[in-house]
Structure 1
Amino acid sequence: MFEQVLNAILAVVVALAAAGAYFWGSNWLLDKFLHSDNGMSPHVSVRRDRLRTGIRPWLFLLPALLFLSIYLVYPVFETVRLSLYNRNGSVFLGLSNYFWAFGDAHFRQSLLNNFFWLLIVPAMSTAIGLIIAVLADRLWWGNIAKSLIFMPMAISFVGASVIWRFIYAYRGPDQPQIGVLNAIVTGMGLPPQNWITMVPLNSFLLMVILIWIQTGFAMVILSAALRGIPEETLEAARLDGANEVQIFFTIMIPQITGTLIVVWTTITIVVLKVFDIVFAMTNGEFQTQVLANLMYSWMFRSGDFGRGSTVAVIILLAVLPIMIWNIRNASREQGAR
């Protein structure tokens, strides 16, 4: 344990030293080779100053661009290439892997599960987060409530899954139940249930974990948006006789529609990439498989890089339109400001 901590500290120190050396050294070289002095003509001096000013920001961006190219851009193209080959990348198959995917029962089951995740999780997280944001602002202990609800965002998906495994835990009908849900059920005089194996309820129970995590994110963003609504507008509506429900649906919701869409699309992207929760809770069994788990299974268990990469490309194609739309919407809002 001590050795691991020491290695981590050493890695941070070396990285900081390397970063500092790079930025100092690159700026020193830039100033050395493009310096301007009194012996130069004004035209050359101004040109060098402009060139130095134009190059300097790229010195700061270069490491990030380099790492993004190596760890993000290159893997995308390599994954697309592998999806066109057989399991070990030795035989070109064209689009055969894609035809296999849509004809495979496990892929269709995973696609259907992903559809239900997309249908339920973003909508529920956004709706619950909005309701909590509205109600918490009316309570004197609202900030405490918000802190408690946002806390799951600090927990990893695997950590959250471990917590919820204890909630859904099942020990058999003749044994004491340690699971919270089964303790409630047995307390009501009903037999305990093995919730994780109950199809299709088990998929919804896994969705609850992600809803529990993402509700805090939705609440914080929407709470900030609600506070941006002019108080004069709300007071005018109350003077005109509108009740709180009418104010909520006719004034608050329309004025934060853009924020609602951004929150919904952000959670949608998270859902499309969901892997950890399903892997930790069911390992994709009991008809809970999603596309990311199917990709992992083909690529790292079966060793079929062609089919695994095919599923990865399909996930990328599903995420891409939402990301592009989200970026364009954000750019449009910034331009309007």
Structure 2
Amino acid sequence: MNPAFQGLLTIAIGVGGCLSYFYFSNQFLDKVLFPARGPNAGKNINRANLVRPWLFLLPAIFALGLYLAYPVVETIRLSLTERQTLSDGTTIYNFVGLANYAQMSADPKFWEALINNMLWLIVVPAMSTAFGLLAAQLTDRIAWGNIAKSLIFMPMAISFVGAAVIWKLVYDARPPGSEQIGVLNAVYVWLTGNDPQQWLTTPFWNSFLLMIVLIWIQTGFAMVILSAALRGIPEETIEAAIVDGANPFQIFFKIKMPQIAGTIVVVWTTITLVVLKIFDIVFAMTNGQWGTQVLANYMFNQLFVARDWGVGSASAMVIMLLVTPILYWNVRNARKEMR
């Protein structure tokens, strides 16, 4: 089947299915389950109105249960079991308690991944938010600010794998004496006259080179959100500060920053969630080699390379435990702002 036709058919079936579900569920509720006639018509209408929201939410609840709740429960179960294949080809799961967690904690690669994740958490959200705030402030003060914002935001339209491929070419190294196609090595050789460096295989520093890719992507996101927050600051407060003799730095740090502190924290925590789940960039550029392993990459290797479902699921639970508090805090603050 032609892919375009297949896409249109899928959309038609999906939209038609949703409309049919809502129409026939309403008919069933109003005419079969709680008919609005007879002596109990008033009570039936009230009962139907109580049930109707849950009826409409049922597909979403089912989808969330199937694709979110069930995988979490299954991951917990797998993290407490050991997968064993018998001679007849059947697979059984033996309960081993916390043995997988103990095995994972004894693995140096796990601690390498955890330390690297902590390093990513310190550097990427801070730098992305700082650069985004700086870009938001500066682009609002120049005539071609909208063009600049478009250019800075453009990396957000690129997938993580696409961005990784672009930056892998930037860090590319050819043999000494050859023409360097990697921008970083071309500049380095031109300035220093030294041999090109294999940047991605340099321990410790290679992690920072990978972080640059995510900072490059997330700066545009931070800029857009913080630019909207800066424009929402009342002009009266800025004018009052100018009248009182405040210089531009004092206006920015003592007037503007306190008023957008909540937005800065939201941007920071949102980028933190992205960092905790980072996988694509590391997988595409180094695959966790040369000391660049992160938790998601470690989980992938355990699940699909080593085929150790227990340890892989245990590492997935570690990622979930790290993400949950930040996610809860974000949701809680969003609900407070909506009140």
Question: Under TM normalisation by the shorter chain, which class is it?
Answer: over 0.9
Return the alpha-carbon distance in structure 2 between the equivalents of residues 313 and 246 of structure 1: 45
Q: Which residue does the alignment assign to 1:36?
A: 36
List alignment gaps of at least 5 residues for structure 1.
none
* Partner in structure 2 of residue 133 of structure 1: 136
Aligned counterpart for 2:169 among listed residues 166, 169, 175: 166
Matched residues in 1 for 2:194 and 2:25: separation? 71
Return the alpha-carbon distance in structure 2 between the equivalents of residues 134 and 109 of structure 1.
Answer: 37
Number of the residue aligned with 1:53: 49
Structure 2: distance between partners of 1:217 and 1:322: 18
One-letter amino acid matched to 2:54 = W
Q: Distance in 2 between matches of 1:173 and 1:108?
A: 36
Q: Which residue is 1:20 aligned to? A: 19
Q: Secondary structure at the match of 2:93?
A: coil
Could you report, residue by residue, the CA deviation over 1:74-102 in whole angstroms, capped at 9, with x for unpaired residues? 00011011101114462211111112222
Residue in structure 1 matched with residue 112 of structure 2 by the alignment: 109
Residues 286-325 of structure 1: per-residue CA shift (max 9 Å, x gap)? 1101000000000011111100000000000011111111
Instruction: Give the distance between the partners of 2:177 and 2:44, measured in 1 at CA.
Output: 83
Q: CA–CA distance in 2 between the matches of 1:60 and 1:227?
A: 38
Tell me if the contact between 1:87 and 1:307 (Cα under 8 Å) persists in the aligned partners: no
Aligned to 1:252: 256
Matches within 5 A, 1:150-229: 150-188=153-191, 189-229=193-233
Equivalent residue pairs, number: 330
Which structure 2 segments of 5+ residues have no match?
85-91
Matched residue SS, 2:13:
helix
One-letter code of the match for 2:48? R
How far apart, CA to CA, are the structure 2 residues paired with 1:211 and 1:161? 12
Q: What root-mean-square deviation, in Å, do the aligned CA atoms of Structure 1 and Structure 2 show?
A: 1.4
Aligned to 1:318: 322
1:182: how far off?
1.3
Shift of the alpha carbon at 1:12?
2.0
1:278 offset after TM fit, Å?
A: 0.3
Are residue 283 (structure 1) and residue 277 (structure 2) matched?
A: no
Residue 296 in structure 1 maps to residue 300 in structure 2: yes
Corresponding residue of 1:230: 234
- CA distance in structure 2 between the partners assigned to 1:16 and 1:136 by the alignment: 41
Deviation digits for residues 33-70 of structure 1 (CA, Å, limit 9, x no counterpart): 22324xx33xx222122222222222221111101100
Partner of residue 334, structure 2: 330
Residues 191-233 of structure 1 show CA distances to partners (whole Å, capped at 9, x for unaligned) of 2111111111111010001001111111111111111111000
Q: TM-score, normalised by structure 1?
A: 0.94
Q: Structure 2: how far apart are the matches of 1:72 and 1:327?
A: 17
Determine the C-alpha separation between the residues in 2 that align with 1:152 and 1:35. Answer: 55
Deviation track 1:1-28 (CA, whole Å, cap 9, x = no partner) reads x733332332222222222221221112
Matched, 1:66 2:62: yes
1:77 matched to which residue of 2?
A: 73
CA distance in 2, matches of 1:91, 1:278: 33
The SS at the match of 2:317 is helix
- 2-side partners of 1:64 and 1:83: how far apart? 28
AA at the equivalent of 2:136:
A
Q: Aligned match of 2:103 in 100, 104, 112?
A: 100
Q: Which amino acid aligns with 1:272?
A: L
Q: Percent identity?
A: 56
Higher mean C-alpha deviation, range 169-178 or range 199-208: 169-178
**Any idea what SS the aligned residue of 2:246 has?**
coil
- Which stretch of structure 1 is more off in the superposition, 22-31 or 195-204? 22-31
